[in-house]
Every structure is written in structure tokens, then in C-alpha cells.
Amino acid sequence: METIELHQAFFWDCEMCGKENFERAIALEMTRDEKTEIFRDMGELESYEELPPEFDIDLLSAPKKVKCKYCGTIFRAIEEGAEDDDTEYDDDAMTNY
């Protein structure tokens, strides 16, 4: 039997056409020190604490906007459970939609 590698992804349903879409998550390439700083900024680690092994994980980047692969509608994206703060994003800083 062939083996296949699974990748982390985000899925969402298009509110215009109802189709299910998938966006591949991007693993951020970070050093252990950079991860430590992020977890400190999030309040998960005190300033004197080192990064424990269970926090030495791949951190993922979620897209700020998504485009339906079926109908072409573009949506601002927020993570599940997050509040929609109506933040305006600079289109030049986004992906090629």
C-alpha cells in the first residue's frame, strides 16, 4: 500500500454557493527562541521560563482572506470562535486574490 503525507489545513463553507473549501495551513519557520518569545507574549510562559518540549510545535498561519474555488467569492477570514472586529486589511499585503 502506498503512503501519503497529511498536511494541516483550514476548511470553510462558502456562504454564497454553499460548497466546502480547504486552505492549506502554512507552518511558520521559527527558531526555538522565537517560539519562546511568542508564548511569553501570549502569557503562556513567564519571562524567565524556557520553552517546554510540549510547546516546541509547528506554529501555523491562517489566511486573512479566502476565495471560494467554485464561485470565486472572496471573504475576510477569522479563526473559529474569534470575534469579527471588522478590521480593514491592506489588499497589497494579501495573497493574490
pLDDT tens figures, 33-59? 999 999 999 999 999 999 999 988 888
Q: Tell me the C-alpha distance between 31 and 26, whole Å.
A: 16
Prediction pTM value:
0.63
Q: Are 89 and 97 in contact (CB under 8 A)?
A: no
Read off the pLDDT of residues 21-38 as tens digits, 9 standing for 90 and up: 999 988 889 999 999 999
**Same structural domain, 30 and 57:** yes
**Same structural domain, 18 and 5:** yes
**Same structural domain, 95 and 73:** yes
* Residue 93: predicted pLDDT: 39
The tally of domains found in the chain comes to: 2
Cβ atoms within 10 A of the Cβ of 66, count? 20
**Same structural domain, 46 and 69:** no
Q: Tell me the C-alpha distance between 58 and 28, whole Å.
A: 7
* Residue 61: predicted pLDDT: 87
Query: By residue range, what is the domain housing residue 45?
Result: 26-61
* Residue 17: predicted pLDDT: 97
**Same structural domain, 37 and 84:** no
- Give the residue from 22, 26, 23, 80 showing the smallest Cα distance to 58: 26
Q: Are 30 and 59 in contact (CB under 8 A)?
A: yes
